[in-house]
Amino acid sequence: MHGAAVLHDTGWGHPEHQGRLRAVASALKNDLVALHGHVEQIAPPPACEDDLLLVHTEEHIAAVRSAVRDAAKRGRPVGIDADTLVSGASWEAALGTAGAGLEAVRCVAEGRLQNAFVAARPPGHHATPDRAMGFCLFNNIAVAARSLRERHGAERVLIVDWDVHHGNGTQDAFYGDPAVFFLSLHQYPHYPGTGAANETGRGRGEGFTLNVPLPAQTPRRDYLRVYRMALESAVSRCAPDFILVSSGFDVLAGDPLGGQLLEPGDLHEMTLGVMDAAERCCDGRVVVFLEGGYDPERTGAGCVSVVRALAGIPNTAGRDGVTDDWT
């Protein structure tokens, strides 16, 4: 996490408020006895505009910068659209968060870390190459994926997105690109209205997008079974050199913007599934990005479960009798 991420101020009445990262930091701090010696915290440098240009247009970057300047001048949050707000500190926060993602993939690609978790804020997977939306300013995971391709020699990248909302921005960034496979499991119909099963790619990218729309209240056992099958299909079709995950904790039961039933322990198992796939195809190279999650306490518990999985530590959250076999 970049230190500026908590400065992005949308107001406490907004679902994506500053308390989200505070809850995550508190939950991880409370788990330090287990995590000590297994997890290293890194202070990343911020991204620069050239990094953002790996995915985003100059016009989009200028529009976000302009909105942030307007917010600073007014001394209050300003809306880019009805849902997506910026404050005077949002430019620094967005560059810091994108930089955290770039540093994470760099460290893993160079073998300095085995895997990584990026506490990203603002989130990113709704930001398209030319539009901020859905609380997202820049697409952190897409910038990281493009950096892996252009700077770190990755031939194929798999992005797994289990946020309760479809990652339309990530899909748009790579819809015609056969080098980046996008797998999304998401509630449907739901915001932003994209992610139908027949959205499978365009041109050379045809077949490199796999959308798995799921109805609200999908039973946990069914969700996990479908997830396992979709992940195996994506890995076999993509044969990735690197796996990135958009981990939306709004997929957890009780999230105010979601409608699914997963528990933190399920995310531990799902992360282990990704790690197992990565061990088989890309020497374990995995980086997980925080996306949604709007019940701060539940989001914190979910982050602990994911980080424990990445660190090779057993989970303590429990799975209420769901015992799918991941081998």
Exactly one of 2, 8, 17, 126 is catalytic; name it: 126
Q: Which residues pair with 290 in a beta bridge?
A: 247
- Among 266, 257, 275, residue whose Cα is nearest residue 301: 266
Residue spans of beta strands (DSSP E) within 113-253: 115-118, 157-161, 180-187, 209-214, 242-247
Contact 187, 270 (CB under 8 A): no
With contact defined as beta carbons under 8 Å apart, do 305 and 317 qualify? yes
Torsion angle of the four alpha carbons 254, 258, 262, 266, in this order, in degrees rounded to the nearest 10: -120
Instruction: Copy the structure tokens of residue 84.
Output: 């997506």
Q: Look up 14 and say whether it is catalytic.
A: no
Which residue reads 């505070």 in tokens? Answer: 22
Residue type, 195: G
Secondary structure letter of residue 286 according to DSSP: E
**Residue 255 CB partners (closer than 8 Å, separation 6+):** 164, 249, 292, 293, 294, 295, 298
CA distance 35 to 18: 24
Read off φ and ψ for residue 275, nearest 5 degrees: -65, -40
Catalytic positions, written as ranges = 126
